[in-house]
Amino acid sequence: MKINEVEALVGITKKNIRFYEGEGLLTPRRNSENGYRDYGEAEVDALRRIKLLRKLGFPLEEIRQMQTGSRTVGDGMRRHLVTLEREQENLRSAAQLCAGLTDCAEKLDALDAKALLERMEQMEQEGTTFMDKQKLDMKRRYAAPVIAAVVMAVLMAGLIWLFLWAFEADPAGAPPLPLLVLFIAIPCVVILGVVIALVQRLREIGKGDEDAVKKY
């Protein structure tokens, strides 16, 4: 099957499917003739399981561990149940705080935010968590491309230093200056390309992938 067929069959957008592939949760085969991804029943079943767990609120790392077999379904459910119960308590505390403000006739610019924040800080010290957990997956998405870009840039910078060191250590045995400049220019271009690609990827994550993570 092609990705359009899988999208219609499972009810997950192509963007989400690509997202899960990027996270390593789905590894479709490549067609040797044209290089396109080929999806079979195994990938469809995997996507259905991912969709189920995401709709239940499972984070990506929990799904990954269940996929690899390091945790059983029961293990994952028990851990997630604890998380849901904790979040339920947090929501109950947040609901109580909001309920206390339902009769507030003030406009926003007159609201005593300082006092409310102090109250929330006290609640957090008592165990309540006021945090958008949906953004935890996004932090992981940002980390991977940044680490990869830094590693590549360091390697290329090391290559440049190696060329310069060799030239300084043995000028007579070094290649002609134009060739040396070319050798140095290549890793410089690679570094520039990596930086541009990183910026574009971070923009893509910020604009679109957050919605995909939130949906499933």
Average pLDDT on 103-125 reads 87
Where residue 8 falls among pLDDT bands split at 50, 70, 90? very high
Q: Nearest Cα to 216, choosing from 81, 73, 56?
A: 56
The model's pTM: 0.55
| Cβ neighbours of residue 188 closer than 8 Å, sequence gap 6 or more | 156, 160
* pLDDT (tens digit per residue) in 50-71: 999 999 989 899 999 999 999 9
CA–CA separation, 10 and 184 (whole Å): 49
What CA–CA distance (Å, rounded) separates 178 from 185?
10
215 exposure class (CB count in 10 Å sphere: 0-12, 13-18, 19+): middle
Report which residue type is found at 192: L
Q: Specify whether the CB–CB gap between 1 and 38 falls below 8 A.
A: yes
pLDDT of residue 125 exceeding 60:
yes
Residue 214 confidence (pLDDT) above 70: no
